[in-house]
Amino acid sequence: MKLIPRLLVVFAVLSVLAWAQHGGHGGSHAVGGGYVPKHGPAPSHGTTPRPAAPQASFRDREGHPEAPHVHHNGEWVGHDYGRDDARFHLDHPWEHGHFEGGFGPAHRWRLGGGGPGRFWFGGFYFSVAPFDVGYCNDWLWDSDDVVIYDDPDHVGWYLGYNVRLGTYVHVMYLGR
């Protein structure tokens, strides 16, 4: 008879420990902590784009980063510039080919080195868009995990999502 109460205590302790390890304490609006979005952002469909002003803020809640980020409910904050934003225009999209290493949460990549101008993982090379460099100052270029998503609005660009921070930047594929 003493076995059942002991098992209940062990179960309760393990449950509390498992809950403490869970990354989503902040509800559906938490950011980072290992969360990986199931898919990239939805394409814009004629919505009014965000102004391309350097003072534009991405901090939508207290404690969220001042960078484009993804909530744990899959909401991509900051991917609302629209298709016609001139910063995203490339004269030669895909000039280094298309990234074929795999997209989305099934393909987590460990950064192998470099910096915003040129970084790599798994033999693939990328660079961060010049207008997004300020949003990846806290990335660990030799150890962070990233997930690559296709950018549905901007031809020639991908989205590099930092799993640890929950932030993302526009990246260009440079080849193998």
Q: What is the pLDDT of residue 8?
A: 54
Write down the mean pLDDT value for the chain: 86
Question: Residue ranges of the domains in the chain?
Answer: 30-37+66-176
User: How would you list the strands of the sheet with 145-150, edge to edge?
Assistant: 108-110, 145-150, 158-162, 168-175, 124-128, 118-121, 113-115
Q: Of all helices (H) and strands (E), which one includes residue 172?
A: strand 168-175
The mean pLDDT value for 78-85 works out to 86
108 pairs with which residues across the strands?
147
Mean pLDDT comparison of 14-23, 53-62, 114-123, highest-scoring range: 114-123
Q: What's the average model confidence in pLDDT over 67-93?
A: 93
pLDDT tens for 12-54 read: 544 444 444 444 444 467 899 999 999 999 998 765 556 555 5
